[in-house]
Amino acid sequence: MAVLEIRKYPDPVLRRKSRPVAGITPEIQKLIDDMIETMYAAPGVGLAAPQVGIPLRLAVIDVSTKEENIPLLVLVNPEIISTEGEQSEEEGCLSVSDFQSVVTRFAKVRVRATDRDGKLCEVSGEGLLARAFQHEIDHLDGVLFIDRISPLKRGLFKRRVRKNLKEDKAAI
């Protein structure tokens, strides 16, 4: 297993819609293991393949440090099949450094996906798990949590990123 590089905004791979995983191959199993190790090392509660530069519909989620009795989840080709209610909580992202903001999402979500053994499954979640499902599936569609905040906050964030990128280039 290996800890992979987490791509940071504004890396273009984060904006691409991911392609479906064709099958659970040994290479996909290794990618899953590497993504799990990367997520724990970061540390985070979820990680999508585009965040490590691979535009595939694959995500790993583990909210067990914050919510008990929820196992590590591997979601291959996940899709949201039902939603309910609304919740607004502060959210951050491993690919969006040093920025958090309140994001409104569905309170309950049901997801259909293939697990790492190739079995089709459905998983429901609420609270943090529902938020993680939506956040990671957004990544697979090229959507970042900053796309779900007010234009004013998003503009402030983008200006800060541009300023930091200019300062980094000047330091080289």
Tokens representing 81?
Answer: 């099949």
- In a domain, residue 135? The reply is yes
Looking at the structure of the chain, the number of domains it has is 1
Provide the residue range defining the domain that includes 158. 12-171
Residue 44 CB-half CA count within 13 A:
25
Would you say residue 7 lies in a domain?
Answer: no
Q: Is residue 4 part of a domain?
A: no
At 81, which CATH number?
3.90.45.10
Reported confidence tier of residue 171, pLDDT bands at 50, 70, 90? low
pLDDT of residue 169: 65
| 0.85 surpassed by pTM | yes
Asked whether residue 5 is domain-assigned, the answer is: no
Contacts of 124 (CB under 8 A, 6+ apart): 108, 109, 110, 111
- Is residue 89 annotated as part of the catalytic site, yes or no? no
Q: What is the pLDDT of residues 70-121, one digit of tens each?
A: 899 999 999 999 999 999 999 999 999 889 999 999 999 999 999 999 999 9
Residue 2 lies in a domain: no
The catalytic residue among 5, 67, 126, 136 is 136
**Residue 57 tokens, joined:** 């519909």
How many helices (H) and strands (E) the chain has is answered by 3, 7
